[in-house]
């Protein structure tokens, strides 16, 4: 056979590599984020996700079981991304109140902006049932505990009231949403959240006087 001849074996397609479970779930979540971005949270169903991802419905059901499970997985992915971003920034900042507050503010806003308008829709959907609201509260509790730990050294008796932390979280969600929709700029959202955090810490100092 000459060097220019091509056999049937040479042209046969290579077998498709089977995705690992982790890679498949990552792919499904990526498609789910895109679907929400393009069509809104209400359009997100397990059947629609299977169609958009090019897989069978049983594959999607095997990963998420229910739509609630899918929404919870999306919020978990967002929370993990936010946590990693903030942890890295905290490790590399100076241990001052100003720098710590700026890290919290910038990390929160930046992570929401990376995900875009999808996050407000996910948060709204999580509030639609007691089960999903409980999931959201669990992740919020972890975030608030982290904020308490890194900010407490700058307070009186290492204490920040839970009400202050809840107010900070409410401001973070509202400001990030406004920045994502273009109502305000990201810089404005970060600066206002930074000021809110500083004010929260300063109030705790005054209570200790």
Both 57 and 115 in one domain: the answer is no
Clarify whether residues 137 and 72 are in a common domain. yes
Please, which residues have CB within 8 angstroms of residue 181's CB and are 6 or more apart in sequence? 117, 120
Give the other-Cβ count within 10 Å of 81's Cβ. Answer: 13
Q: What percent of the chain has pLDDT over 90?
A: 51
Nearest to 125 by CA among 52, 68, 61: 68
Q: Is residue 9 part of a domain?
A: no
> Is the residue at 11 inside a domain?
no
144-188, pLDDT tens digit by residue? 999 999 999 998 777 888 999 999 999 999 999 899 889 999 999
Tracing tokens 């308490």 back to the chain, one arrives at 148
Q: How many domains does the chain have?
A: 2
Q: In terms of residue numbers, what domain contains 43?
A: 18-65
Q: Is residue 209 classed exposed, middle or buried when 0-12, 13-18 and 19+ CB atoms within 10 A define those classes?
A: exposed
60 and 79 share one domain = no
Query: Within this chain, do residues 107 and 203 fall inside the same structural domain, yes or no?
Result: yes
The overall average pLDDT reported for the chain is 86
pLDDT at 1: 46
Residue 3's pLDDT is 47
Neighbouring C-beta atoms of residue 194, cutoff 10 Å: 18
* Higher pLDDT, residue 65 or 129: 65
Same domain, 118 and 27: no
CA distances from 141 to 81, 144, 145, 196 (A): 16, 5, 6, 19
Q: Which helix (H) or strand (E) holds 115?
A: helix 97-115
Give the domain CATH number at 53: 1.10.10.60
Q: pLDDT exceeding 70 applies to what percent of the chain?
A: 89
Q: Is residue 53 located within the same domain as residue 74?
A: no
CA–CA dist 164, 2 (Å, integer): 80
In this model, does residue 192 exceed pLDDT 90?
yes
Please give the pLDDT value at position 79.
86
Residue 29 shares a structural domain with residue 124: no
Summarised one tens digit per residue, pLDDT across range 5-45 is: 544 445 545 445 677 888 999 999 999 999 998 888 889 99
Q: Is the pLDDT of residue 4 over 80?
A: no
61 and 72, same domain (yes or no):
no
Task: Assess whether 80 and 175 both reside in one domain.
Answer: yes
Same domain, residue pair 72 and 61: no
Residue 107's CB is within 10 A of a number of other CB atoms, namely: 21
Give the pLDDT of residue 174: 92
> What is the per-residue pLDDT for 184?
96
| 49 within domain boundaries | yes
Residue 6 pLDDT:
47
Helix spans in the chain (H) = 8-11, 21-39, 46-53, 57-64, 67-91, 97-115, 118-126, 130-151, 162-180, 186-207
pLDDT at residue 208, rounded to an integer = 52
Q: Is pLDDT of 73 > 60? A: yes
Residue 17's pLDDT is what?
60
pLDDT given at position 134: 85
Residue 85 belongs to domain with CATH number: 1.10.357.10
Q: By the 8 A CB rule, do 97 and 198 touch?
A: yes
């Amino acid at each position: 056979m000459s060097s220019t001849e091509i056999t049937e074996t040479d042209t046969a397609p290579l077998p498709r590599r089977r995705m690992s479970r982790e890679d498949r779930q990552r792919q499904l979540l990526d498609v789910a984020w895109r679907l929400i971005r393009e069509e809104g949270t209400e359009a997100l169903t397990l059947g629609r996700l299977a169609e958009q991802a090019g897989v069978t419905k049983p594959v999607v059901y095997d990963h998420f079981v229910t739509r609630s499970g899918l929404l919870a997985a999306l919020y978990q992915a967002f929370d993990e991304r936010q946590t990693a971003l903030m942890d890295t920034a905290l490790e590399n900042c100076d241990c001052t109140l100003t720098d710590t507050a700026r890290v919290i503010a910038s990390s929160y806003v930046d992570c929401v902006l990376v995900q875009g308008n999808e996050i407000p829709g996910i948060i709204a959907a999580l509030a639609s049932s007691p089960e999903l609201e409980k999931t959201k509260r669990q992740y919020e509790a972890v975030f608030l505990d982290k904020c308490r730990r890194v900010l407490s050294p700058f307070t009186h008796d290492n204490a920040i009231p839970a009400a202050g932390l809840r107010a900070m979280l409410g401001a973070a969600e509202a400001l990030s949403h406004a920045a994502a929709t273009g109502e305000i700029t990201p810089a404005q959202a970060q600066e206002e959240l930074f000021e809110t955090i500083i004010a929260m810490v300063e109030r705790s100092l005054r209570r200790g006087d």
